[in-house]
Amino acid sequence: MTQALKGAVLPLIFVLTGCSQGESESTSTGKPTEQLAPPQETGVLEVATRNGATTYYLDRHQNPIGPEFSLVSRFAESKGWTINWTMHESTAEVLQALEAGNTHLAAAGLTHLPSRTERFTRGPAHTEITEQLVCHRDMRPMPRKPESMPEVGITVTADSSYVETLSKLASEHEGITFTEDDSRTTEILLSEVAEQDIDCTVADSNIVQVMRRHFPHLEVAMNLTQGNNLGWYLPAGSDDLAGTTREWMNSTDGDEAIGYVESRYYAYIGEFDFVDLRALNRRIDDRLPDFIDRFAEAETTTGMPADLLAALSYQESHWDPAAVSPTGVRGIMMLTRNTAESLGVMDRLDPAAAIDGGARYLADRHRRLPETIPEPDRTFLALASYNIGRGHLLDARQLARELGKNPDSWDDMKEVLPLKADKRYYPSTRYGYARGYEPVHYVQRIRNYRDVISSAFD
């Protein structure tokens, strides 16, 4: 295993083995059915989940995040309830908690299946996915249709929806076999496909989307399903609470929460670029160790997160301290001469000075924005300012107001910034024309890189 792959696997293994501290709400092992009063009485919502990039995990500051965490938190907040999270090692354990009645709600990236709906009370759906057969990109021949599947070994997580999908395919196509694994999660199985320890596995498309950035050698051989829904389940007989969850999910607040999850965790990932991500993972091994302490020092002095600074630097120079652009910006942070002079950076090709200067410049962009702008929008707007300049960003914020958009929302500003290159709009702005589409892609790439790089700072 390369060091880059190790860097990606280790944090994943951490989040998949459960967490016992650092959550904003407490975790427990569950309560006996007869003691589990409804949250309407206790004000506490018991939630079963599992650790994973598409469910619930801890960030580098030990704060809980994840799509399921965000959705459930918004739901509970709307009801004035606190949450008691129970971590489980696998989908099978989550389903066992539902069977035992040890939880009010299971929010663990569960596919809505007829077989599950017979056993439990179905809650609302929140995400549409496709189940995909994933193999190593060097596999030859690559199984592109079900008739080719008997030629490869397939391992999937036990009690997952993938078991039903493969069982159905096996009944339709002779020779298809697979192994159920009751100890490894889908994310771990994907990492083992990348290491060529197993041939192939099956995973939801949202999991594949996230994981391929860490493991560029993963390839989607084929889609096995279309339009499956992920959503919540409740113990059998929980019709009242299920109705409450569905009502909330279908409300304006629920729609906004789903939109936030899409924007926060998925939308910025974009199209998969094998060459770019393979190079990034290699450079995490080859180049980042030379500068990682400098990024950490810059975080201490400026408050800008080290992994964010590293991602910004990678976007700017691919961590090449001698980088020079045709327009004259140079160094590991690609500072202009004027910016460097204003920051007191005498030598832009000195990585220590450049990283410190670039971090102070980003912190200044961040500080100059109104404190009322929520995170992470404020950071995204600061990055856009770093890229396009504060004047053009202020123009775009004013244009957003004129168009009835929210200048404090990055989702809205992603739509407005490109208008700085539109002749219908930029002549009326103070600073005129700018390639406003560039900061949108700039922020998207930095967010993507940061997700991969962050494991090196844990």
Please state, for a pLDDT cut of 90, what percent of the chain lies above it: 81
Q: What is the mean pLDDT of residues 162-187?
A: 94
Q: Which residue from 202, 236, 256, 387 is spatially nearest to 311, judged by alpha carbons?
A: 387
Ordered alpha helix ranges (H), 195-305: 205-211, 239-249, 252-261, 274-286, 292-302
Which tokens hold the place of 199? 């041939």
- Identify the weakest region by mean pLDDT among 13-17, 230-234, 378-382: 13-17
pLDDT of residue 227: 84
Q: Which residue from 413, 397, 390, 402 is spatially nearest to 263, judged by alpha carbons?
A: 413
Q: List beta partners, residue 86.
A: 48
Q: Are 218 and 193 in contact (CB under 8 A)?
A: yes
- Residue 18: is its pLDDT beyond 60? no
Q: Are 52 and 16 in contact (CB under 8 A)?
A: yes
pLDDT of residue 35: 65
Q: What is the mean pLDDT of residues 167-187?
A: 94
Q: What is the rounded CA–CA span in Å between residue 451 and residue 210?
A: 9
Q: What is the rounded CA–CA span in Å between residue 213 and residue 422?
A: 33
Any catalytic annotation for residue 128?
no
pLDDT of residue 17: 35
Q: Could you check whether the bond before residue 374 is cis, i.e. omega within 30 degrees of 0?
A: no
Q: What is the mean pLDDT of residues 147-161?
A: 94
Q: What is the rounded CA–CA span in Å between residue 218 and residue 202?
A: 12
Q: List beta partners, residue 427.
A: none
Cα distances from 199 to residues 153, 165, 174, 196, in angstroms, run: 5, 18, 19, 6
Cα 104 to chain centroid distance, Å, stands at 26
- Identify the weakest region by mean pLDDT among 86-90, 361-365, 394-398: 86-90
Cα 101 to chain centroid distance, Å, stands at 30
- Residue 9: is its pLDDT beyond 70? no
Kindly give the interhelix angle for 306-317 and 351-367, rounded to the nearest 10 degrees: 110
Active-site annotation holder among 46, 187, 316, 341: 316
Q: Is the model more confident about 271 or about 172?
A: 172
Please state, for a pLDDT cut of 70, what percent of the chain lies above it: 92
Q: Determine phi and psi for 224, rounding to 5 degrees.
A: -100, -20
- Residue 22: is its pLDDT beyond 60? no
pTM: 0.77
Q: What is the mean pLDDT of residues 280-292?
A: 95
Which tokens hold the place of 282? 């290699």
Q: What is the rounded CA–CA span in Å between residue 113 and residue 104?
A: 19
Q: What is the mean pLDDT of residues 11-19?
A: 38
- Residue 11: is its pLDDT beyond 60? no
pLDDT of residue 199: 97
**Confidence at 268, pLDDT banded by 50, 70, 90:** confident
**Confidence at 2, pLDDT banded by 50, 70, 90:** very low
Cα distances from 445 to residues 77, 100, 255, 428, in angstroms, run: 32, 44, 26, 30
271 burial (CB, 10 Å; 0-12 / 13-18 / 19+) is exposed
Q: What is the rounded CA–CA span in Å between residue 326 and residue 229?
A: 48
- Residue 91: is its pLDDT beyond 50? yes
- Identify the weakest region by mean pLDDT among 43-57, 263-277, 358-372, 394-408: 263-277
SS3 assignment, position 393: helix
CB-based contacts of 15, cutoff 8 Å, min separation 6: 51, 52, 53, 57, 58
Q: Is the model more confident about 361 or about 63?
A: 361
Q: What is the rounded CA–CA span in Å between residue 247 and residue 38?
A: 17
Under the phi-then-psi rule, with left for phi > 0, alpha for psi from -120 to 50, and beta for the rest, what region is 227?
left
pLDDT of residue 34: 52
- Give the pairing type, strands 218-223 and 131-136: antiparallel
- Residue 85: is its pLDDT beyond 60? yes
Task: Work out the mean pLDDT of the chain and round it to a whole number.
Answer: 90
Q: What is the mean pLDDT of residues 435-456?
A: 93
Q: Are 236 and 110 in contact (CB under 8 A)?
A: no
Q: What is the rounded CA–CA span in Å between residue 17 and residue 97?
A: 17
Q: Give the model confidence (pLDDT) of 202-226 as tens digits.
A: 999 999 999 998 899 999 999 999 8
